[in-house]
A and B are shown apart, each in its own frame.
Chain A
Amino acid sequence: MEQAQEREGRPSRRQAFQPGRPSGKTQGDVVLSVERVSKSIGRKPIIRDISFDVRAGEIFGFLGPNGSGKTTTIRMLVDLIKPTGGRISVCGEDVNRSPERALRHVGCIVENPEMYSYMTGWENLAHFARMQPDIPEARIEEVVDIVGLDARIHDKVKTYSLGMRQRLGIAQALLGSPKLLILDEPTNGLDPKGIKELRAFIRELADGGMSVFVSSHLLSEIQLMCDRVAIIGQGRVIAVGKVEELVAQAETYTLWLVSDPERAEALLREHPDARVVGEDEHRIDESLLAAMPGAIVTSMEPDAVPGWVERFVAAGIGVQAVHRASPSLEELFLKLTEGERLG
């Protein structure tokens, strides 16, 4: 669709080293295209008319709370569930009509990376390698190396930890050198270190030109990892766009930690360029509030902050900390769904 000629002259992994990641990236060709897809089970509509595209080399977030239709959508992407209407194509091949061609470009982990526990990691990989054309043994060695499972690859999978199963799942997904990697809640059950490693790993893959489709209900996860995001709620796509553009739609908060909160709050209320935000009005990450107990949450232009510092100091109120909190995607999600409900 957009700039189909990109394929030949893709700037490849060079982009990776540009610091401001997504903004500088040109829009690649469409790897996954979801057009007006819907699914009903019985008479109950589960997915209603959703559309979005995933482009080459981008990390695409798929965000929605549990029960929003996220899992159903992912299963439709890989032909586990047949859509009632619409079309899903990968690299131009219809997933439901010719899965044997479309799925060649896809590697995926749907929910947990379940492998045959009575076989070794290597036997599992060999099993899945035989299901795809032209995967030599060297490629199995390669993916084992990529995910760093060399030491335990000949052990039975039932002896693996969750993190190792996750790695084996990713190795399996990478076997066929896919153009699109689909990961369903990949950080589930990983420790913080594992999550960080996974994030870096996914970024590396995307820099190598692979598109990565990541679903999550963890909002911060998507913010940290993704270039673009589709937000899904009640079976509908509520918004699709660059993460920061969507985030910009929601309000930014300024948190003040001062020596005399009561006077400071009174002062803030006197001036029209600041607004004190009540406790149930905002949805700032709780861990952030825990680090600044008793902080006053305000909404103001960034330019107004230095003036306010001066004002507080002049009034004899000590400023202990000022913090700008970007809105969480949860907040954004609520904002978008509220609009939906009202409209």
Chain B
Amino acid sequence: MANQLALIQNETLKVWKKKRFAVIVLILLVLVPVFVYAQLKIAENNKDKFTDWRAELRQRIIDNTNALSSDRVPEEWKKWRVALVQQLQYDLDHDVNPNTPNAVTFTNSFLRNAVGMFIPLMVLAVASDLVSSERSTGTIKMLLTRPVRRWRILFSKLVTLTLYVSLIIVATAAVSYLVSGLVFGYEGWREPVFVGFRLAGSDIDTADVHAITQGAYLLMLMGLVWFSAMVVAILAFMVSVLVRSTAASLVTMMAAVISGAILSNMASSWHSAKYLFNVNLDLTVYLQGSPPPIDGMTLGFSLAVLGVWAIAALVVSFAVFTKQDILN
């Protein structure tokens, strides 16, 4: 029985030799500087507006501290203000202008913006022809006539896919950190960022708000981005098993991802849309505390919906791949 590791080595090698990952890194190297430049322009613009940022920070701290002693401010708002004051005080103490980005904050905001479209697109570059390319080039006839059970071949492709998705996330973060650091400096890992905001109806529930470092925040972001990227990858994997043409499988998945982005903006009153996988892809909204696309969606809910979609896709992929007749 052929070694499963050897099969995974085969699949990994094939994706590598196809230079898919090289293309992805190249795209990152071209695009990230563009975003860095845009960020730089924003920072310069802010600098012009707020000439003395230290004075401004001090003023905000005073305003918020005053508000804390006021009886008219509800209790939960006070918590949030305490958190804010902490953050502002930290910035002041460490001589950090909050309006000046650094490499870590840039990476975080880049990841948040990339999760909906950019990362899925790069994942599709690997995932959508993982199986369909074997069929369209005819190599599947060689692959499946070797003494290996079909599910093992598909499994090795799945492991390879997981490896490359992880690599893509890490590469995206690494490239954006390294490139933006050239301009903004590589500091910023220990700066605090506040998480735990929860939307309860129209109010923000600040009960769980606490500060974590930007570094930890980056790790959490990467985890969430990884999860949603894996779901896109697995769905693309299924489409690539079902559809013979790579172009068709790519277009199908692109359409699904893009329609998710569109739906997120307009489906807030269509409640059952929250069970679609594509409106759940942006998991980072829960970390930022921004309102989810549809009422009633929480981090747990989105993870569960995405998980169910992924498992269903895997079941279909394996069932079809192990049974289907290779007719052409």
Contact = CB atoms under 8 A, between A and B. Distances in A.
Interface of A: 41, 75, 78-82, 99-104, 106, 108, 110-112, 114-119, 123, 127-128, 130-133, 172, 176
Interface residues of B, number: 28
B14 A116 contact: yes
A103 B149 CA distance: 10
Contacts, number: 84
A112 B138 contact: yes
Chain B CB count within 10 A is highest, among A82, A99, A116, A131, for: A131
A247 B3 CA distance: 48
A78 B14 CA distance: 23
Interface in B61-102: none
A110 B145 contact: yes
Contact of B146 (A81, A112, A128): A128
Given A110-B141, A112-B138, A131-B10, A80 B326 contact: yes
Contacts of B141: 80, 110-111, 114
B144 A114 contact: no
A132 B147 contact: yes
A159 B143 CA distance: 21
7 A-B pairs with the lowest CB-CB distances in the bound complex, closest first: A114-B138, A130-B6, A131-B146, A80-B326, A104-B147, A103-B147, A78-B145
A114 B146 CA distance: 14
Given A130-B7, A131-B6, A133-B1, A114 B142 contact: yes
B9 interface: yes
26 contacts: A75-B326, A78-B145, A79-B145, A80-B145, A80-B325, A103-B145, A108-B145, A110-B145, A111-B141, A114-B141, A115-B142, A116-B14, A118-B17, A123-B13, A127-B10, A127-B13, A127-B14, A130-B6, A130-B9, A130-B10, A131-B2, A132-B146, A132-B147, A133-B1, A133-B2, A172-B142
A100 to B, nearest CB: 5
Given A115-B139, A116-B17, A131-B7, A81 B325 contact: yes
Contacts of B147: 99-104, 131-133, 176
B137 interface: yes
Contacts of B142: 114-115, 128, 172
